[in-house]
């Protein structure tokens, strides 16, 4: 589909759903054929249970893409298995870089120390790109209150050059909204939240902190690079 057509469509979608609640927006996306093939991309992190629960309420067979960088906390891997089972999610796809790719680019497992952007590209961005092949749209859990360029986050984005649309159903949620939803639906929290982790990524690159401040501490890097702009990976050092 031409980029101009996608941009026009996204503009119409943002107008149409501007006042729509997150669950209703997600429901429309998952049942309306106009969105085509769609998947939820989930980190199974601190706030991931919200969208995962909504998806389970609408269609438990919805594809869920989980990127296992093989550097994640063991608690995240366990949470992914347990939450998927508890919610009855039957179509979870675990994405990883191949052994050959990791062996060639990070034979000593130290790439995250020397070239963290390259490590994210290898272990996270490339596997996701493969996982998104053939999809028309994907769902992200990003929110405006998380800061940076996310403060201007729309409900729908045109993923330039890819022919895909990205949905951000929780874009206008607050931290209080997230906390209230998890509590009211009695969703199990990620086990590391109680230890002060508000945002969870790879174990070597994450420390306990508020918001996303615990990601890549001491570096200007604030993103892993799985979001795309005009068909290109967002620079991992940018707050996109």
Measured at the alpha carbon of residue 121, what is the angle toward residues 109 and 78, in degrees to the nearest 5? 65
Known catalytic membership, residue 224: yes
> Which residue in 120, 202, 205, 224 is the catalytic one?
224
Residues 202/55/161/126 CA torsion (nearest 10 deg): 30
Q: Distance between CA 145 and CA 173 in Å, rounded?
A: 7
In our burial notation (b when 16+ CB lie closer than 10 A, e otherwise), range 108-145 reads: eeebbeeebbebbbbbbbbbbeebbeebbbbbbbbbbb
Residues annotated as part of the active site: 224
């Amino acid at each position: 589909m031409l980029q101009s057509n996608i941009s026009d469509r996204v503009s119409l979608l943002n107008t149409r759903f501007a006042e729509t609640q997150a669950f209703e927006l997600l429901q429309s996306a998952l049942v309306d054929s106009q969105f085509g093939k769609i998947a939820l991309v989930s980190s199974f992190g601190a706030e991931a249970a919200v969208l995962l629960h909504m998806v389970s309420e609408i269609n438990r067979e919805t594809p869920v893409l989980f990127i296992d960088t093989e550097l994640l906390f063991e608690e995240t891997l366990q949470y992914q298995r347990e939450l998927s089972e508890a919610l009855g999610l039957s179509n979870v796809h675990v994405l990883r870089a191949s052994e050959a790719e990791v062996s060639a680019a990070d034979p000593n497992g130290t790439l995250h120390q020397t070239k963290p952007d390259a490590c994210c590209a290898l272990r996270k961005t490339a596997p996701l790109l493969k996982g998104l092949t053939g999809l028309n749209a994907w769902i992200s859990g990003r929110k405006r209150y998380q800061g940076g360029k996310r403060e201007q986050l729309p409900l729908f984005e045109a993923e330039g050059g890819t022919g895909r649309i990205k949905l951000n159903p929780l874009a206008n949620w607050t931290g209080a909204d997230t906390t209230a939803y998890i509590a009211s639906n009695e969703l199990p929290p990620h086990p590391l939240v109680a230890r002060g982790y508000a945002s969870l990524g790879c174990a070597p690159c994450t420390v306990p902190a508020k918001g996303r401040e615990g990601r890549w501490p001491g570096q200007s890097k604030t993103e892993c690079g799985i979001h795309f702009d005009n068909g290109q990976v967002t620079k991992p050092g940018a707050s996109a």
